[in-house]
Chains A and B, each alone.
Chain A
């Protein structure tokens, strides 16, 4: 102990440091960012303090847990798309960086094709049936949450609201030389179009929002297609995601179930995650909606537009969840939309348990 160089100032500093708990120095210590004096003092303290040793263990566990996250694949370059978006915005009359409040709000998304984007990057939002208030909030005021989600679910980074805004901007700002009369005509036409579109969309939304507890879905025809992912009993669905147009993962939270029905292998009471893959019939999807049903009788808890069907699309896929009541597990179901006729498959397939 005291033989450390026999150097008095070092020893005094060491004693002072070693008498203190090391919580606030654990980050530097485990990261190799301590001075020699600090390191020795910390180790001396750790020898004597069980609480700090426990904190050290926890810190090392956390570091070990996070370490694999460093090796994620890096996405492709964004330079070309950034420049394309700047060019688009400039082309629409906003000259240079001083004009627009938000760059993203000006850019019109370019859906060039009906199927899923080349990256195939479609994923469904987190569905938290147990937190239906958040779903209600999403339905009522989707801007923020939808932004997060839309960003991940289509080639565009815009919300429908932003798209609408951008579109209106284009209408009202476009063709400045054509004069007030033409502009007002265009505005009136735009308003009529928007109203028509909103009406049609609203009608469609209404039809899709009403779940098995409501009327419309009760009348649809069952298909033999499959979308399935059974989660253990006593679980709620925490997340649905699609990592290809037809495949995805359902992540559930198993709620303190002693006979939890086969959740994750390290499930040991409390809330644990369980993960189930699901697969839809290939080719069944061109656009996506998530429709979440929860609670007794599978009433509709809310729905969230993930990716609207392109006008040329005939069969966007909708996903939903049924049977999340305690003790009955959870089941994903899907149904397709064919122009004006819905087709539904899911709970009727008998997967609910």
Chain B
């Protein structure tokens, strides 16, 4: 994943232009953020197609709302990525809506496709059921979490990011991330117990 070098000044200028309806400026923002958001959404939803659609919706919604966007508290967010917390929030909201309205199907499809197309052999392996269980677990936990808690859960437990990285990505303090990740673990453990009858004993 290559993050394009773009400083805060660039990003704010682009956001200003995009807010006035400049599609080219908005396109530059989309290209800068899509690797991050696509990776995040596919980890959250488990389905590349769903992640792609959700990312599209996120960017389209962002374009609509850009005129009302204000730069975040500079002390918290990554100074080079002022739009980051806002875009993650939109993306997380949309992904959570999808998870809450949808069903386990998202999980299933996720493990079956590769970027090149369809994988038919790998999914025959026993790992499929483990991945399915993992998806179920994640989905169950996410359904009960707030948007920020959910984002912290995915970024830490699935993406493996450190608290500091998550804090700058989401514009949170380190302590806030710690609390939210801990809440995420509580949700995961509750979901784990609910999904695994043996764990209840």
Residue in B closest to A128 when the chains form the complex, CB atoms: B103
Known: A144-B101, A145-B101, A145-B102. A73 touches B113 (CB 8 A): yes
* Chain B, interface SS category: helix
Please provide the chain A residues from 43 to 77 with a CB less than 8 Å away from any CB of chain B in the complex.
Answer: 55, 58-59, 61-63, 65-70, 72-77
A125–B66 CB distance below 8 A: no
- Given the known A-B contacts A62-B137, A74-B1, A123-B105, are A249 and B112 also in contact in the complex, defined by CB atoms under 8 Å? yes
Asked if residues A74 and B137 are in contact (CB atoms below 8 Å), the reply is no
On whether the beta carbons of B189 and A62 are closer than 8 Å, the reply is yes
Contact in complex: A152, B127 (CB < 8 Å): no
Within 8 A of A (CB), among B11-67: 18-21, 23, 26-27, 30-31, 34-35, 38-39, 42-43, 46-57, 59-61, 63-67
Collect the chain A residues with CB atoms within 8 Å of residue B113's CB: 73, 121, 243
Q: Check A271 against B197 for contact (C-beta < 8 Å).
A: yes
Bin chain B's interface residue count: 35 or more
In the complex, identify which listed stretch (A79-87, A176-184, A224-232, A333-341) lies at the interface while the others stay far away.
A79-87
Contact B117 A73 (CB under 8 A): no
Kindly state the separation between the CA atoms of A96 and B25 in the bound complex, as whole angstroms.
Answer: 13
Given A27-B182, A74-B38: A157 touches B57 (CB 8 Å cut-off)? yes
Closest to A119 in B: B49
Checking A68, A151, A243, A244 against B53 with a beta-carbon cut-off of 8 angstroms, the contacting residue is A151
Instruction: Say whether, besides A79-B34, A265-B126, A273-B132, A72 and B56 are in contact (CB < 8 Å).
Output: no
> Quick check: is B162 within 8 A (CB to CB) of the other chain?
yes
| A120-B23 in contact (CB<8A) | no
Return chain B residues, CB-CB under 8 Å to A3. Answer: none
Cβ-defined contact, B26 with A33, below 8 A: no
Contact B105 A241 (CB under 8 A): yes
Which of A12-20, A98-106, A211-219 is found at the contact surface with chain B?
A98-106
Q: How far is the CB of A105 from chain B (nearest CB, A)?
A: 10
Asked if B129 contacts A269 (CB within 8 A), the reply is no
Cα(A102)–Cα(B64), bound, Å: 8
Contact between chains at A120 and B117 (CB < 8 Å)? yes
Given A70-B43, A74-B115, A78-B56, A251:B104 Cβ within 8 A: yes
Shortest beta-carbon distance from B160 to chain A in Å = 6
**Cβ of B130 under 8 Å from chain A:** yes
> Once bound together, how far apart are the Cα atoms of A213 and B54, in whole Å?
39
| Per-position 1/0 for B181-201, Cβ under 8 A of A | 110111011001000011100
Task: Please tell me if B88 contacts chain A, counting CB pairs below 8 Å.
Answer: no
Q: Is the interface of A mostly helix, strand, loop or mixed?
A: mixed
Interface members, chain A 321-340 (any B CB < 8 Å): none
Cβ–Cβ < 8 Å partners of B42 in chain A: 72-75
The total of Cβ contacts below 8 Å across the A-B interface reads 232
Q: Which residues of B contact A277 (CB under 8 A)?
A: 124
- For the complex, is B110 an interface residue (Cβ under 8 Å from A)? yes
Q: Considering only CB atoms, which chain A residue lies closest to B55 in the complex?
A: A78
Is A41 in contact with chain B by the CB < 8 A criterion? no
**Is there contact, CB below 8 Å, between A78 and B34?**
yes
In whole Å, how far is A289's beta carbon from the nearest beta carbon of chain B? 15
Query: Is the pair B23, A87 in contact by a Cβ cutoff of 8 Å?
Result: yes
Task: Find residues 52-88 in chain B having any chain A CB closer than 8 Å to their own CB.
Answer: 52-57, 59-61, 63-67
Chain B residues contacting A86 (CB-CB under 8 Å) are 23, 26, 60, 63
Per the bound structure, the CA–CA distance linking A264 and B52 in Å amounts to 31
Q: Contacting B134 at CB < 8 Å: which of A69, A81, A119?
A: A69
Q: How far is the CB of A231 from chain B (nearest CB, A)?
A: 14
Q: Does A147 contact B (CB under 8 A)?
A: yes
Tell me, yes or no, whether A202 is within 8 Å of chain B by CB. Answer: no
Pick from A28, A119, A151, A270: contact of B178, CB under 8 Å: A28
Q: How far is the CA of A26 from the CA of B185 in the complex (A)?
A: 8
Q: Is B134 touching A28 in the complex (CB atoms < 8 A)?
A: no
Residue numbers in B under 8 Å from A55 (CB-CB): 189
- The answer, among A62, A72, A74, A103, for a CB contact under 8 Å with B110, is A72
Query: Does the CB pair A83–B23 fall under 8 Å?
Result: yes
Q: A58-B189, A73-B114, A83-B30 are known contacts; what are 11 more A-B pairs with Cβ within 8 Å?
A: A27-B181, A65-B137, A69-B135, A74-B38, A75-B42, A75-B55, A78-B34, A83-B26, A103-B57, A151-B50, A271-B197
Interface residues of A (CB under 8 A from B): 23-28, 31, 33, 55, 58-59, 61-63, 65-70, 72-79, 81-83, 85-87, 90, 95-98, 100-104, 119-121, 123-126, 128, 144-145, 147-149, 151-152, 157, 238-241, 243-244, 247, 249, 251, 264-266, 268-271, 273, 275, 277
29 sample A-B contacts, Cβ–Cβ < 8 Å, listed by A number: A28-B163, A28-B182, A31-B162, A62-B188, A66-B138, A66-B157, A69-B158, A70-B43, A70-B160, A75-B42, A77-B34, A78-B55, A83-B30, A97-B63, A97-B64, A97-B66, A101-B64, A103-B60, A103-B61, A104-B57, A120-B117, A123-B49, A123-B108, A145-B101, A148-B101, A151-B53, A243-B120, A273-B129, A275-B129
